[in-house]
């Protein structure tokens, strides 16, 4: 399925209404912000936006203006994002957490929508803005607060790869399949994360393993219901070898195969004990979460829970407390 871009332009409205239209579009596409045009009457702006998986991408062409995110606007938001801004034309100043940075064309920066910030564009600018859900950038070994509002180069290192990928993703988005768009979201997030790790002085093998482990976990969660979820396919999707996958979880107490099976069992447990799924067969639930057949599911279930799926469901839906401790699924 293609991912068409949508456009919002102030050109079609009277000059007196343009800033209001712009503010509404920014609010809807980029989050709650207060906008002003430094008192200028001749304001003009154009936004082109699209969605690649969980990442929202926008390109802004706009005359000089500034935006502010206040604590009251933050309280009214229901999701946390990391914003990535790539400066394509013009210069802009970003302020957050008492830190200030000016971006010139070919540079990018990140900031946190759960903290107040201000962006001043004293001249006409072209910018690309990406919204990455904050949960996609785990803070293990990565202190995000210390890395916000810093300047990253689009001409060298990992940050150049991030820059090139962000721009190419926006250009190619209209022709991407859903699967390709999901994969691009992962790649962009991973490159941003690696850029932050590099800036944080953590260029060790450990930091790369941590980043890969997070990508593995996210990939498993998204494809849990796919019976063809295998180590081979995961390695291909994440563009790495199976050896790298195994090394990423070498310090864990369970193998990749065990991790997949445990998460599938946890998903089945939720459905089996939920009244909304009471009319579904055990087999239907098992197959929906990637088990290849009911016999395999029943053996795995009994091994972990000590009872059959039907017995578990009967107890879960009866007005009595389960006797089995589901924490046994932890490993």
Q: What is the DSSP string of 107-175?
A: EEEEEETTS-EEEEESS-EEEEEEEEEGGGS--TT--GGGGSS--EESSSHHHHHHHHHHHHHHHHGGG
Give the residue among 271, 270, 269, 280 at the shortest CA–CA distance from 308: 269
Of 28, 114, 125, 126, the C-alpha closest to 73 is 114
Contacts of residue 193, defined as CB under 8 A and 6 or more positions apart, other chains included, come to 137, 142, 211, 214
pLDDT band of 146, cuts 50, 70, 90: confident
Tell me how far apart the 2 most distant CA atoms of the chain are, in Å: 73
Yes or no: say if 93 and 43 are a contact pair by the CB < 8 Å rule.
no
Q: With a cut of 50, say whether residue 321 has pLDDT above it.
A: no
Q: Chain-centre distance of CA 228, in angstroms?
A: 24
Token digits for 131? 């919204």
Report the alpha-carbon distance of residue 138 to residue 213 in Å, rounded.
11
pTM of the model: 0.63
Q: Under a CB-based contact definition with an 8 Å cutoff, are residues 231 and 256 in contact?
A: yes
Tell me the mean pLDDT in the region 150-156: 90
pLDDT of residue 49: 94
**H or E, element range at 189:** helix 178-199
pLDDT of residue 253: 75
């Amino acid at each position: 399925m293609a991912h068409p871009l949508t456009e919002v332009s102030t050109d079609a409205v009277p000059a007196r209404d343009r800033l209001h239209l712009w503010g509404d579009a920014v609010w809807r596409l980029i989050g709650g912000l207060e906008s002003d045009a430094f008192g200028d009457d001749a304001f003009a702006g154009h936004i082109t936006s699209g969605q690649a998986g969980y990442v929202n991408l926008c390109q802004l062409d706009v005359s000089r203006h500034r935006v502010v995110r206040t604590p009251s606007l933050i309280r009214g938001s229901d999701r946390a994002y990391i914003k990535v801004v790539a400066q394509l034309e013009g210069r802009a100043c970003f302020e957050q957490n008492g830190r200030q940075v000016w971006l010139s064309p070919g540079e990018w920066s990140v900031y946190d929508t759960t903290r107040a910030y201000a962006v001043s564009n004293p001249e006409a600018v072209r910018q690309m803005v990406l919204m990455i859900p904050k949960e996609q950038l785990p803070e293990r070994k990565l202190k995000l607060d210390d890395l916000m509002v810093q300047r990253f180069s689009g001409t060298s290192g990992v940050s150049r790869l991030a820059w090139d990928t962000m721009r190419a993703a926006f250009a190619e988005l209209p022709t991407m399949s859903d699967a390709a768009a999901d994969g691009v979201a992962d790649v962009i997030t991973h490159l941003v994360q690696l850029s932050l790790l590099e800036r944080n002085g953590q260029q060790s093998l450990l930091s790369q393993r941590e980043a890969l482990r997070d990508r593995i976990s996210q990939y498993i969660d998204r494809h849990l219901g796919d019976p063809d979820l295998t180590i081979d396919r995961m390695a291909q999707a994440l563009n790495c070898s199976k050896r790298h996958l195994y090394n990423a979880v070498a310090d864990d107490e369970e193998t990749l195969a065990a991790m997949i099976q445990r998460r599938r069992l946890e998903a089945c447990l939720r459905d089996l004990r939920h009244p909304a799924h009471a009319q579904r067969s055990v087999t239907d639930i098992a197959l929906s979460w990637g088990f290849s057949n009911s016999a395999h599911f029943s053996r795995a279930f009994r091994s972990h829970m000590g009872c059959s799926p039907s017995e578990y469901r009967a107890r879960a839906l009866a007005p009595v407390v389960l006797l089995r401790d589901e924490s046994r699924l932890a490993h």
